[in-house]
Amino acid sequence: MDFAYYNMLISFKQLHLHMPYKEREITKMYYTMGEVAILFDVNQSLIRFYEKEFDVLQPKKNKKGNRYFTPEDIENLKIIFHLIRDKGYTLNGAKEYLKNNMADTRDNHRVISSLENLKRFLIEVRDQL
């Protein structure tokens, strides 16, 4: 066996043992309004406004009226913020786009998220070498 290949194999095994990439990420079933506002770095009033404007946002409300957002609501908010902030859509334009292209938009967003996660993982691997 080639010495360089053997060293690469050993370093890969060590890297494999120290990389927790197979561990599942713990996600919550519901996020409060405050947590969502912090996550997106916006005021809670903006999230309430988007809830009224976009039909895809349907947070659960308890008896007190507190809003609880599901992970699906969080994904929809990410899409809405991407359309409005990054792509420069108006509110009406974003509503129309979501109405006509919701399935494609979700698929694209999932692909982008997967690629970003892969990029972060590869950067971690590079930094450990």
Question: How many helices (H) and strands (E) would you count in the chain?
Answer: 5, 3
What pLDDT is attached to residue 105?
76
Structural contact between residues 107 and 87, judged by C-beta atoms closer than 8 angstroms: no
Provide the residue range defining the domain that includes 18: 3-128
Structural contact between residues 31 and 74, judged by C-beta atoms closer than 8 angstroms: yes
For the entire predicted model, the pTM comes to: 0.65
Number of domains, the chain:
1
| Beta carbons within 10 angstroms of residue 80's beta carbon | 24
Give per-residue pLDDT as tens, 68-90: 999 889 988 988 998 899 889 99
| Ranges of the chain whose pLDDT falls below 70 | 1-26
What pLDDT is attached to residue 10?
41
Q: What CATH number is attached to the domain comprising 37?
A: 1.10.1660.10
- The first and second tokens of residue 80, run together, are 């809405």
